[in-house]
Amino acid sequence: MSGQRRSRTVPAKRRNPASKGPGERHGLMLILLVVPLVVLAGRMVHLQVFAAPAYAERAADQRTRDIELSPRRGTIFDRDGEPLAVSREARTIYASPRLVEDATATAEALTGVLGGEVSDHTARLQRDSGFVYIARKVDMERAQAVEALGLAGIGQLKDSRRTYPSGELAAQVLGFVGVDDEGLGGLEAHYDELLAGIPGSVLAERDPFGRPIPGGVMHAEEPVHGSDIVISIDRDIQYVAQLELQGAVETWGAKSGSVVVMDPNTGAVLAMASVPGFNPNRFAEVDSSAYRNRAITDVYEPGSTLKAITAAAVIDAGLFDADSSFVLPPTLQVGNRTIKEAHPRPQVEWTLTDIVANSSNVGTVKMGQALGEGPLHEYLTRFGFTARTGIDFPGEAAGYLPAVEQWSATSIANIPFGQGISMTPLQLARALAAIANGGELVTPHLLVDVPGRPDLVVRHSKERVISEEAAAETREVLKASVTEGTGGNAAVEGYEVAGKTGTAQKARTDGRGYAPGKYIASFAGFLPADDPSVLVVVVIDEPSGAIYGGSVAAPVFAEVARFAVSHLKIPPTSSAPLDRSDVETMTGESQP
């Protein structure tokens, strides 16, 4: 149609399915904003509520330093109040590495005063830490020298240093301590809980460079110092015992030796010496075998010193008395064993006193046979040879006595005179003390008192093993061993001495039997014989040139005993004994 507008249909615009309307876009944006906020809020709740304690602890660890303050270790005094182990004022040197300006130069300066290697000090000073130890237990002289250097980042803490004023004196008894003030041997270890005390601490807040923050957290807990203790050791008697023992070991080329000095009435140990010795101020410089308190840790066959106990047993049992007579052949056959004397002799008629004085093996076996296996074992048990003494000291050995059921046909032929049985010198001292004090087995001990601790009462038990009458008669027998027999070199002018020599073969360590040419010489005795106050046991291991207890050990007894009675002001009780020149030939006790 001409002149007529043609109508045109416009198709509808298609909608992109991916496009969003305004409302939808706003909702999506809201979700994208809310979800992170919810996650963040949840994280904040977790950190502030649930994980807060852990993070607070980590933060505190980073900005605070807890430093331990060492307590003063208690002093060990001898029976007269003389200090044997003390703690001197000292310092611990430390560094704050982040404050050190020149690690190498600082290390060189420290080495010049403290010793050690420059490289070791440098390594410590370069650690990524706010605190490192440089040296512990530094004496005051060197600590003051370090302070005078004025080194940046180097500080000091109060400390103490264990020292032993008398050096080697009673070293094995006292023991020693480590760098952390922990007792590592002897009484230092046994009474560590008493001596050590309780450490204190200082808590200080510091910045990231290790510097104290003014007004920061500061908490100080003072240490509780250790308790002092008083022990029974007498410093002067201990010195003489060590001196005489050392001299004997050197004179006779012996392997080692030990001496016990004890009050037989109470069990208090007045001296306990061991050779070889050591200086506890420098304990790391010696072989650890020198640490052994041989009187307590080393067992041996006592040999003829046990004849004193066998004699006491048969007297207490009522079988014999000091004057009982025995016909003794030159040798005695028991099972497949022939018992001999040290020196050949004809048949003799000897009293019980003669048997002990001359240290007769044959006569002692006859006494043992008369007593019988069971009763002999019972008496040896009563005298403490099947148990430790109970002394307050670590590492005590128990010794050995076989049960009766384990005795062979020949056990009765060797146990009565000290073979086939082993003990420590302290066990022998304890047993002999029962004869000395009237028949009671005492408990050897070292601790006497803990000043300032009334809650700690020191008590020691006693147990009767033989009658007073049997003990008194046995003392008379043992006096004859010194005045008339093998113990002549143990005589002390002005005092009656009772005692017994011993010369024992050493048991093999690589099999059964005895080591050829190896002996232990000993002497055990006490004085004044009728009212004993001092008991001394001397044991010399593997002497050469002479082997008999009367020649090797008895002179040591005499010197130690002579000093002890003088030092303790024990009055003389008798006229002068035999001159030494008269007894030189009476030192050979019998051996199988």
Per-residue confidence (pLDDT) for residue 48, from 0 to 100: 67
How many residues in the chain? 592
447/375 same-domain check: yes
Banded pLDDT at 189 (limits 50, 70, 90):
very high
Distances (CA, A) of 395 to 173, 187, 229, 296: 12, 11, 20, 8
Q: How far apart are the first and last CA of the chain?
A: 162
| pLDDT of the residue at 80 | 97
**Residue 51 banded pLDDT, cuts 50, 70, 90:** low
Instruction: For 538-556, write each residue's pLDDT tens digit.
Output: 999 999 999 999 999 999 9
- Report if residue 121 sits inside a domain: no
pLDDT reported for residue 372: 97
Greatest mean pLDDT among 6-20, 83-97, 305-319? 305-319
* Tally of domains within the chain: 2
Round to whole Å and give the CA distance between 129 and 320: 81
pLDDT in tens, 257-272: 999 999 999 999 999 9
> How many CB atoms lie under 10 A from the CB of residue 95?
27
Lowest mean pLDDT among 28-32, 86-90, 295-299, 388-392: 28-32
176 and 242 both lie in a single domain: no
pLDDT of residue 5: 47
Structure tokens at 296: 């307590």
The CATH number assigned to the domain holding 76 equals 3.90.1310.10
DSSP label of 586: -
pLDDT at 306 over 60: yes
Residue 585 has what pLDDT? 40
Q: Are residues 224 and 281 in the same domain?
A: no
11 has a pLDDT exceeding 80: no
Report phi then psi at 301, rounded to 5: -80, 125
Asked whether residue 59 carries a pLDDT value surpassing 60, the answer given is: no
Give me the pLDDT at residue 45, please. 66
CATH number of the domain at 554, please.
Answer: 3.40.710.10
- Could you tell me if 268 and 161 lie in one domain? no
Looking at residue 586, its pLDDT comes to 42
Per the omega criterion (within 30 degrees of 0), is the bond before 276 cis?
yes
Distance CA 474, CA 312 (A): 6
Q: What average pLDDT score do residues 21-39 get?
A: 71
Residue at a domain's end among 193, 216, 231: 231
Query: What pLDDT, on the 0 to 100 scale, is given for residue 207?
Result: 58
**Domain that includes residue 365, residue range:** 235-582
Residues 359-396 as b or e (16 or more Cβ within 10 Å = b): bbbbbbbbbbeebeeebbbebbebbbbbeebbbbbbeb
How many Å separate Cα 539 from the centre of its chain? 20
Average pLDDT, the chain: 88
Task: Check: pTM over 0.85? Answer yes or no.
Answer: no
- pLDDT of 204: 65
Report CA 253 to chain centroid distance, whole Å.
27
Q: Do residues 221 and 290 share a domain?
A: no
Bridge partners for 272 per DSSP: 260
**Nearest Cα to 338, choosing from 329, 325, 351?**
329
Residues 161 and 267 in one domain: no
- pLDDT (mean) for 40-57: 65
Question: Per residue in 311-360, pLDDT tens?
Answer: 999 999 999 999 999 999 999 999 999 999 988 999 999 999 999 999 99
Q: Is residue 43 part of a domain?
A: no
Question: What 3-state class would DSSP assign to 553?
Answer: coil
- Residues 514, 478, single domain; the answer is yes
Q: Token pair of 292, please?
A: 């052994």
Same domain, 202 and 295: no
Domain co-membership, 181 together with 241: no
pLDDT at residue 237 is higher than 90: yes
Q: Give me the catalytic one of 96, 304, 422, 481.
A: 304
Of the candidates 231, 266, 300, which is a domain's last residue? 231
Q: Please report which confidence band the pLDDT of residue 582 belongs to, taking 50, 70 and 90 as the band edges.
A: very low
Asked if the model's pLDDT at residue 576 lies above 60, the reply is no
| 422: annotated active-site residue | no
Q: Residue 268 domain-assigned?
A: yes
Q: Per mean pLDDT, which of 31-45, 105-119, 150-164, 553-567 is the most reliable?
A: 553-567
pLDDT digits (tens, 9 = 90+) for 193-210: 999 999 887 776 665 555
Last residue of a domain, one of 202, 231, 260: 231
Residue 205 lies in a domain: yes
Query: What is the reported pLDDT for 581?
Result: 43
Give the mean model confidence (pLDDT) for residues 499-504: 96
- Strand positions, DSSP E, 428-513: 440-442, 447-449, 462-464, 498-507
Is the domain of 214 the same as that of 250? Answer: no
How far apart are alpha carbons 364 and 475 in whole angstroms? 17
Do both 416 and 515 map to the same domain? yes
Q: Which helix (H) or strand (E) holds 325?
A: strand 325-328
Q: What is the mean pLDDT of residues 17-28?
A: 63
Residue 180 lies in a domain: yes
The verdict on residue 19 lying in a domain is no
| Tens digit of each residue's pLDDT (9 = 90 or more) over 363-409 | 999 999 999 999 999 999 999 999 999 999 999 999 899 999 999 99
Assigned domain for 57 exists: no
Q: Tell which wins on pLDDT, 173 or 218.
A: 173
Task: Mark whether 320 and 356 lie in a shared domain.
Answer: yes
- Residue 145: in which H helix or E strand, if any? helix 140-149
On whether residue 308 sits in a domain, the answer given is yes
